[in-house]
Amino acid sequence: MADAIITIDMDNAVATSHGGSGDRRGSRKCIFKWPQDLVDHLGDVPRMPHVVAIGPYHHGQENLMAMEECKSHALSRVLSLSGGLEKSNFVEALKKVEQDLRDHYDELDARSWPSNFFIEMMLLDGCFLLDFLFKLDKLVDIIIPEHRVHNPD
């Protein structure tokens, strides 16, 4: 059973996770400020992040600014692991897919996000998430030593 392969129809999962119809011919939007099923579950309670903003919806809010420095440190760590690539390499790669990224956000005001700001935010947030996952993997190795058997690094 441990070797079983699990397949998920992500197109349908994303389309239905926010209360959509699952119709793939419609909008490419799949990143929502708050997914409808979560809103339905939580009801009418304030839904604001308390520690970090990932993506444009809450970016720049005063109470989340402390984590922006952490994101810059994460970028530095990811760059140090990138085999000599520079920030400009990542910026250029993101520019090539910028419109696709924007198209996936629901309720994104393009005028509020000029290209250079949007790309910078995506780079910092992406590196922050990668760095977080690297750290989480190391923590799992400490807490569950047998994890190393499958993950020797």
Per-residue model confidence as pLDDT tens digits over 18-51: 444 333 345 677 777 676 777 788 777 767 788 9
Looking at residues 39-66, what average pLDDT do you find? 84
pLDDT tens figures, 112-145: 889 999 999 999 999 999 999 999 988 887 787 7
pTM over 0.85: no
Q: Who's near 67: CB < 8 A, 6+ residues apart?
A: 51, 52, 53, 128
